[in-house]
Amino acid sequence: MKPLRFALFGTGFWSRYQLAAWRELKGVACVALYNRTRAKAEALGRDFGITAIYDDPAELLERERIDFVDIVTDVGTHAPLTRLAAAHGLAVICQKPMATTLREAEAMVRFCKARRAPLFIHENFRWQAPLRALAAELKRGEIGRPFRARIDFISGYPVFENQPALAVLEQFIIADLGSHTLDLARFLFGEVSSIYCRTQRIHKKIKGEDVATLVLEMRNGMHVTVNMAYAANPLEREAFPETLVFVEGETGSAELSPGCVLRTTTRHGTLVQKTPPPFYPWADPRYAVVHASIVPCNANLLAALRGRGPAETTGDDNLLTARLVFAAYESASRHRVITLT
């Protein structure tokens, strides 16, 4: 079968790892790069042997023969670039967060459906090896029916140093990181019936919130607390970028702790499992657990593009996460619980 050809839109911080992860898979090839700053695209193209370089996405789509686009740009460009590609009848893979507003995210989904252009959101956190292992453990049922859980991503890592654009976002940690953690809550525990959120800003030179505490009531009756922070506390740096989870069940508990260690405790004792990510030489060791997750995420989306199975993170599915993100902001601004319909 002929390889699927795609163009990568955006050649910033994340794009290098996105391209390297695609190269781990057979039957797919990046043939063109777009970036509004052409020099950045040229530099990435030299490293990956890609010669078709553009600073105009419309020109790229007119001139190149491709099957889909992979959008790895800032969130403000996601909607227009998605519409541009879908108008050409192309499938679209878009980074999270999907859009800057819920209305914009809903419009993206409608636009792609109207043109029968598949829309996928590159939501890679749920593909991390430790989190897949936790999901499998919960499915095994040894801890009984889960009734409460905590999801933590609390880090002192200086994230603004290598991604300075994050510092100028009006909405930061819930939109950027909450898109991941709220998707994880849905992936692990099902859909949400209500949400309550409080936020803080600890860094004085950023625009958005860098600390958030969320309480979710799930439709199955569970209560899930989601804690997120980039407050730059050096004691919290060691676990970056791991997501830690503690789940209480009726007959036991499951805990994902630092070092990708999964502990399942029941009346029979505690089972300890190491769940490290696969090793890839191109992955930044500081981001290894996240970078490694790009490969299975891409594999899932590629299989869907090939018609070989459903994608986990379609536009429709991620729209449910986007609704939680913006409901959290509404809750924080109104100081009240928001009920989801």
Q: What is the DSSP letter of 206?
A: -
CA–CA separation, 112 vs 114, rounded Å? 5
Task: Give the model's pLDDT for residue 3.
Answer: 95
| β-strand partners of 213 | 198, 227
CA–CA separation, 209 vs 169, rounded Å? 9
CA 339 to chain centre: 24
53-54 and 28-34 strand pairing: parallel
**Tokens at 332, concatenated:** 């924080």
Task: Give the model's pLDDT for residue 157.
Answer: 81
CA–CA separation, 76 vs 81, rounded Å? 10
Residue 333 CB neighbours (<10 A): 10
Task: Give the model's pLDDT for residue 237.
Answer: 61
List helix spans (H) across the chain: 15-22, 38-48, 57-63, 78-87, 102-114, 129-140, 159-162, 173-176, 178-189, 288-305, 315-334
What is the side-by-side strand order in the sheet with 211-218? Answer: 269-274, 261-266, 252-257, 244-249, 146-154, 223-229, 211-218, 192-200, 338-339
**Tokens at 330, concatenated:** 């509404």
Task: Give the model's pLDDT for residue 289.
Answer: 96
What is the side-by-side strand order in the sheet with 119-122? Answer: 53-54, 28-34, 4-9, 68-71, 91-95, 119-122
Residue type, 251: T
- Spatial contact of 197 and 174, defined as CB atoms under 8 Å apart: yes
Per residue of the chain (341 residues), give pLDDT as tens.
799 999 999 999 899 999 999 999 999 999 999 999 999 999 999 999 999 999 999 999 999 999 999 999 999 999 999 999 999 999 999 999 999 999 999 999 999 999 999 999 999 999 999 999 999 999 999 999 999 999 999 988 888 887 888 899 999 999 999 999 999 999 999 999 999 999 999 999 999 999 999 999 999 999 999 999 998 777 666 678 999 999 999 999 999 999 999 999 999 999 999 999 999 999 999 899 999 999 999 999 999 999 999 999 999 999 999 999 999 999 999 999 999 98
Domains of the chain by range and CATH? 4-122 (3.40.50.720), 125-284+315-339 (3.30.360.10)
Q: Tell me the whole-structure pTM to 2 decimals.
A: 0.95
Give the SS3 label for residue 70: strand
- Spatial contact of 200 and 211, defined as CB atoms under 8 Å apart: yes
* Distance, first Cα to last Cα, the chain: 44
**Tokens at 276, concatenated:** 């490290």
CA–CA separation, 16 vs 124, rounded Å? 15
Task: Give the model's pLDDT for residue 249.
Answer: 98
**Tokens at 110, concatenated:** 């409608």
